[in-house]
A and B are shown apart, each in its own frame.
Chain A
Amino acid sequence: MKRSFKGLFYTPYILWLAMFVIAPVALIIYYSFFDIHHQFTFSNYRVFFESGTYLTMTANSVLYAFLITVISILISYPMALVISKLKHRDLWILLVILPTWINLLLKAYAFIGLLSHDGLVNNLFGFFGIPAQQMLFTDTSFILVAAYIQIPFMILPIYNSMTDISDSYIRASSDLGASKWQTLTKIIIPMTMPGIKSGIQIVFIPSLSLFMLSRLIGGNKIITLGTAVEEHFLTTMNWGMGSTIGVVLIISMVVVMLFTNTKRKGRRS
């Protein structure tokens, strides 16, 4: 009686898992073994690993995702540190999170308006006598805009792990003679490592497959794995190849998860 009741609560989770996690992943793997003529084949994988195009694309994607992640950590960490010390810190962190409620597409178009040849930034430059710059459709603008989009997702886990640190740790560190910098590097950063790691997990993987931003801000010059997937499914209709890239993305996700998994040998955050 009690058992079946418990089973009732598990059902939604199991259904969710089956329909939205296991089934799609299985389908992607299944499709990755068929070519464009619906024939079973391993050629998709051969093409992926033999043609330089896909490997360069993968290398590019990883590089871009890495840069986006690093930049968002470099901005988010000090920001979280400052906000966690403020009086109304919950309000300030809410303001940082606020932009995530706005549609990604809207934000992308807003950046086009800002960065374009006749945009606000160039107008400002003109005001100071700096000639108009080509900013849209560059690597830099793509990486910066992507980092901007990802920062709220990076800052939140870091901020949470910071607010979990009791004041007495900081006091103890300073009491034992540590400078502010030593307290930061020896106490605060190690203790917020779990937050940094989950930030990386949340930011790095989606950054591998950004396609809307790479089109709108990167201007089709930047081809990441995400753009390739979109291209295969919507333009060339080569679902097999698209799925193969999907499988590669899933595997790299697992790899990142393994690397950033907090090894807890009895240590607690």
Chain B
Amino acid sequence: MSNTIVELKDVYKTYDDGFTALKDISIKLNQGEFYTLLGPSGSGKTTILQAIAGFTEVTSGEVLFDGKRINDIPANQRQLNTVFQDYALFPNMNVFENVAFGLVVHNVKKAEIEQRVHDALKMVQLEKYATREISELSGGQQQRIAIARAIINRPKVLLLDEPLSALDAKLRKDMQYELRELQQQLGITFLFVTHDQEEALAMSDEIFVMNKGEILQKGDPVDIYDEPINHFVADFIGESNIIPGKMVADYQVAFLGHQFECSDAGMRPNEPVEVVIRPEDLVITSPEKGKIQVKVDTQLFRGDYYEILAYDEQGNEWLIHSTNATKDDSVVGLAFGPTDMHIMRYNESEAKFNSRLESYED
């Protein structure tokens, strides 16, 4: 029963000064799924959120909620709630009053308010903090209160605008688990906005990668990571080595003067392409055994792996993740298999990309 709860149809947003924030956005959000809008700042992801929440009007196109057009319905009558980037907890109210606000403005009875606020605070594990002032809470606690306040009205969709960006790294990781758990517990749709690809990959059922007001690719985290549609997505999601090459024939790609077997097909013969190899898919071996030879430049210890920067003979930069260190300035071989490579065409649309993948994948 995956029915659509929120839908954007051909949405454009152009500001008075002529800046186009959204270009032809069409997305469908199903009930009970965790979606992420991922993109660099200024890519339009927050604008999409605001268009759904009702804080900004779209220039053209339709915003649908539960099948009904809500373009002209004001924010306070839309049945979805938002967790704001700065939390926006009301400083003139304490924790209880903040969480209860959504119920108070709907004239809910006092006994029911108390019960529901208690439940909401319990859900975010802060039931003992009801009488605290907002200024007495830590950043992580404020974050949870903001979530409790947003779910008090039992919305069908929760919009989260970079809610973790103000937290420190450790807390951010913990909150990723908690948010995911909360979403599954509530069974409602989450639309999460972030510029952090790690957050997006960790939590989402589906990711929309955005840049410059357009959605470049959508798909589940594994697909997006393993099969990025173009240079931008490959570069933005995770780290990658992107090398220009030539598609000699189906399953045959040439780069750096060698021909390799790969797992992609469907291009024109001899079409110029880009080859993506993730740093963790490269295995360091002896120069003779390696498919290509590189010279190690620098190594950084990252805790769970070494990040090795190396250059091939043509001056391309190679990033390698390895559990073992290697010698600086030594020449090593890099080994990789056919499935470690992903081939990207230049300027391929998402629809064509998907149908091409389907044409040769089982």
Contact = CB atoms under 8 A, between A and B. Distances in A.
Chain B CB within 10 A, most for which of A177, A186, A267, A269: A177
B88 A168 contact: yes
A180 to B, nearest CB: 8
A176 B133 contact: no
B133 A175 contact: no
Nearest to A169: B88
A186 to B, nearest CB: 7
Interface residues of B, number: 29
Interface residues of A, number: 23
B88 A174 contact: no
B84 interface: yes
Interface stretch (B7-15, B75-83, B278-286, B295-303): B75-83
Contacts of A190: 92
Contact of A191 (B75, B81, B92, B136): B92
A182 interface: yes
Given A179-B76, A266-B136, A173 B101 contact: yes
Contact of A171 (B75, B102, B153): B75
A6 to B, nearest CB: 31
Nearest to B135: A266
B346 interface: no
Contact of A176 (B81, B86, B136): B81
Contacts of B109: none
A178 B107 CA distance: 10
Contacts of B85: 168
Nearest to A170: B88
A187 interface: yes
B111 interface: no
A231 to B, nearest CB: 45
9 closest cross-chain pairs (CB), A and B: A176-B102, A168-B88, A172-B88, A190-B92, A178-B105, A266-B133, A174-B76, A174-B75, A175-B82
B201 interface: no
B257 interface: no
Given A177-B76, A178-B105, 12 more contacts: A169-B88, A171-B55, A171-B75, A171-B82, A173-B90, A176-B81, A176-B101, A176-B102, A190-B92, A191-B90, A191-B92, A193-B92
A175 B76 contact: yes
A265 interface: yes
B81 A267 contact: no
Given A177-B153, A179-B76, A267 B86 contact: no
Contacts of A187: 90, 92
Interface in B53-111: 53-55, 74-77, 81-82, 84-86, 88-92, 101-102, 104-106
Contact of B91 (A174, A178, A268): A268
B342 interface: no
B74 A174 contact: yes
Contacts of A186: 101, 104-105
A177 B102 contact: yes
26 contacts: A166-B88, A169-B88, A171-B53, A171-B75, A171-B82, A171-B84, A172-B149, A173-B105, A174-B75, A174-B76, A175-B54, A176-B76, A176-B81, A176-B101, A176-B149, A176-B152, A176-B153, A177-B77, A178-B76, A178-B101, A179-B105, A187-B92, A191-B90, A191-B92, A265-B133, A268-B91
